[in-house]
Structure 1
Amino acid sequence: MSDAPFIKACMDKVLAGGRITIDEAERLLATDDVMALADCANTITRKFNGDVVDVEALINAKSGKCPEDCSFCAQSTFYETGINKYPLLPKETIVEQAEMAKAGGATNFCLVCAYRSPPEKDFEQICETITAIKEQVGTEVNVSLGFMTLERARRLKQLGVKRYNHNLEASESYFSKICTTHDFRDRVNTAKIVKEAGLELCCGGIIGMGETPRQRLELAFSIASLDPDEVPMNILIGREGTPFAGYKDLIEPMDAIKAIAVWRFIMPKTILKIAGGREVHLKDKDRLALKAGANGIITGGYLTTGGNAPNKDITMIKEIGLKAK
């Protein structure tokens, strides 16, 4: 028996302004009718978000030596992963990277640093760098700096930062399996501080870390409860040296497509961005992802892994009849 009528009924509920339940989401995620699910997710995306794809570039502005023990992360001080570690990059270097990102077609530039929370000296330097990017490059600036106080978040808002990234990473019921140096509520707290300060919230997570399908949905519903403006979905790349090094192929491309589609049902109006791991796991399905609920991408590489060249991604977006922003 086809799931198409059920999928369409869920779509109609969302289009009318309603919300699906986690049990309905679980049934959607379990469907074998992937294309019907993708088509309905695409209809939701187009209705609430138009035909624009948000294209963002990022810079790993301070690499490694993070004091947290997140099992997926190559930048944790707990693991030997062979990455290039360095302190906060000079202002001039970051501004130059922002200029290159803008020239490549990215309209958002995200400054990411591996901290639990930046020391005061580094935070002041980051603030000076944000000001320089706004004045010299003129692109939107987003940041990801770890845990945040309300005072600092308000300072970033005053400087013109658009969006603050702080992912929940995993569902509350699975979080202790991925991290012991802080807990799920710590992450939720920073996300709420970001909103209170008037910044837009970018808040997503990682799939393919050994979680159950239900936990994949629990994560989505927790993220949705924070009303984020942007939701990056990352797909785990098991990095050598981390506890998750053996987690190479825990998710098939079409399972990832289904997760993207169902997350769109859960969060119809957000920028749903396919991020880390998309080139590895989606392979040639990234076009389908952008017609199955996703309406944003990270381009040009990630924190410790490479990615597609921006011009390749911009071309792909245009080839499927969408517009890069």
Structure 2
Amino acid sequence: MMADSAFIRSCTNKVLAGGSITFEEAERLLATDDVMTLAGCANTITRTFNGDTVDVEALINAKSGRCPEDCSFCAQSSFYDTGITKYPLLPKEVLVENARKAKEAGATSFCLVCAYREPPEKDFQQICETIAEIRSKVDIEVNVSLGFMTPARARRLRELGVKRYNHNLEAAESYFSKICKTHDFADRVNTAKIVKEAGLELCSGGIIGMGESKKERLDLAFSLASLRPDEVPINILIGREGTPMAGFEPIDPLEAIKTIAVWRFIMPKTILKIAGGREVHLKDKDRLALKAGANGIITGGYLTTGGNAPNKDIAMIKEIGLKA
């Protein structure tokens, strides 16, 4: 344990001095049994580079289901019968009202998420009108997640004042073909690069607990770090009935905490956001996650599952001495 503790602190000092840890160092950190030292050092890195504020984001499933992609984890894929409510793009008025409610509940940003490979032109125009309306009527950051992007569309979103575009890598390149056959890892990387080149901030993360190895969890983190994302959501798989991952054994909560902490060493300055699955898998350990490298949360629910009420999450953040 003492050797582990000394090694963790030496990696911490390296990162605090502006250096980067190697893949081998990350593997050794992830293998440690000294979870509390790892968590404490990740917290030191977080506070040093990012301060005490937790990024609180609300999202809305603005178009549900019927996605033509076969991602094995996703309840919205048209390949699987998961019993979710499916609906076309929600009317502009509904989305503006939801943005207003998110702002009133304490969220600092609002993300429009749509289940597309890429939006048809008619829907894209309606989304653009909705963004303009939210920006003119509600004082909240607007982020979007619309699937694959072209440079022209990404520039249009930037002109409308969208702050951040979400496009997750989901899994390590070496594992990606096991979870998706209708597109590949390079397609996702390409859209991530397009939105950055257009001047949008990039939100890109993934899902842990999909049967990947610890090494593949780190492969994903290093791939993400190479894109220099502004925000990285860490989702923890909820095996949805009807999907190929329905019966997957849930990840151990402390393994999830260790993963979050090590990702902080790899990406010291990004917003690391605990997202889908945190309420199910972390339960009361979400407090520990926010003192172990994470500095962002999704509140109020996800795409096809519920979540904590925003006031409950904001109270929790303040209870542990952080700001929302």
**TM-score, shorter chain, exceeding 0.5:** yes
2:153 equivalent in structure 1: 152
Partner-residue secondary structure (3-state), 1:52:
coil
Q: CA separation in 2, counterparts of 1:41 and 1:179? A: 32
1:53 equivalent in structure 2: 54
Q: CA separation in 1, counterparts of 2:287 and 2:262? A: 17
1:270 equivalent in structure 2: 270
2:210 equivalent in structure 1: 209
2:11 equivalent in structure 1: 10
Q: CA separation in 1, counterparts of 2:200 and 2:284? A: 35
What CA deviation, in whole Å up to 9, does each residue of 1:47-93 have, x standing for no partner? 00000000000000000000000000000000000000000000000
Alpha-carbon RMSD: 0.5
Q: CA separation in 2, counterparts of 1:248 and 1:104? A: 34
**Which residue identity does 2:271 align to in structure 1?**
I
Q: CA separation in 2, counterparts of 1:9 and 1:214? A: 21
Work out whether residues 59 and 112 of structure 1, in 8 Å CA contact, stay in contact via their aligned partners in 2.
Answer: yes
1:175 equivalent in structure 2: 176
2:76 equivalent in structure 1: 75
2:138 equivalent in structure 1: 137
Partner-residue secondary structure (3-state), 2:173:
coil
Partner-residue secondary structure (3-state), 1:129:
helix
1:299 equivalent in structure 2: 299
**Which residue identity does 1:87 align to in structure 2?**
P
Q: CA separation in 2, counterparts of 1:39 and 1:163? A: 29
What CA deviation, in whole Å up to 9, does each residue of 1:185-216 have, x standing for no partner? 00000000010000000000000000000000
Q: CA separation in 1, counterparts of 2:9 and 2:249? A: 34
Structure 1: segments with no counterpart, 5+ residues = none
2:241 equivalent in structure 1: 240
1:86 equivalent in structure 2: 87
The CA deviation at 1:247 is 1.1
**Which residue identity does 2:12 align to in structure 1?**
M
Greater than 3 Å deviation, 4+ residue runs: none
Q: CA separation in 1, counterparts of 2:247 and 2:111? A: 29
Partner-residue secondary structure (3-state), 2:240:
coil
What CA deviation, in whole Å up to 9, does each residue of 1:214-265 have, x standing for no partner? 000000000000000000000000000000000141x111000000000000
**Which residue identity does 2:300 align to in structure 1?**
G
Partner-residue secondary structure (3-state), 2:54:
strand
2:255 equivalent in structure 1: 255
Partner-residue secondary structure (3-state), 2:287:
helix
Q: CA separation in 1, counterparts of 2:75 and 2:23? A: 32
Q: CA separation in 2, counterparts of 1:9 and 1:66? A: 46
Q: CA separation in 2, counterparts of 1:69 and 1:9? A: 43
Identity %: 81
The CA deviation at 1:138 is 1.9
Count of aligned pairs between the two proteins: 323
Q: CA separation in 2, counterparts of 1:283 and 1:98? A: 27
Partner-residue secondary structure (3-state), 2:174:
coil
TM-score by length of 1: 0.99
Work out whether residues 237 and 248 of structure 1, in 8 Å CA contact, stay in contact via their aligned partners in 2.
Answer: no
Residue 27 of structure 2 corresponds to residue 26 of structure 1:
yes
Q: CA separation in 2, counterparts of 1:163 and 1:36? A: 33
**Which residue identity does 1:228 align to in structure 2?**
P
Q: CA separation in 1, counterparts of 2:249 and 2:305? A: 15
Residue 122 of structure 2 corresponds to residue 121 of structure 1:
yes
**Which residue identity does 1:316 align to in structure 2?**
M
1:287 equivalent in structure 2: 287
**Which residue identity does 1:231 align to in structure 2?**
V
**Which residue identity does 2:295 align to in structure 1?**
N
Q: CA separation in 2, counterparts of 1:20 and 1:228? A: 17
Counterparts of residues 182-221 of structure 1 (less than 5 Å): 182-221=183-222
What CA deviation, in whole Å up to 9, does each residue of 1:277-307 have, x standing for no partner? 0000001100000000000000000000000
Q: CA separation in 2, counterparts of 1:218 and 1:201? A: 19
Structure 2: segments with no counterpart, 5+ residues = none
**Which residue identity does 2:297 align to in structure 1?**
I
Q: CA separation in 2, counterparts of 1:198 and 1:208? A: 32
**Which residue identity does 2:282 align to in structure 1?**
L
What CA deviation, in whole Å up to 9, does each residue of 1:65-124 have, x standing for no partner? 000000000000000000000000000000000000000000100000000000000000
Q: CA separation in 1, counterparts of 2:91 and 2:139? A: 19
TM-score by length of 2: 0.99
Q: CA separation in 1, counterparts of 2:41 and 2:164? A: 29
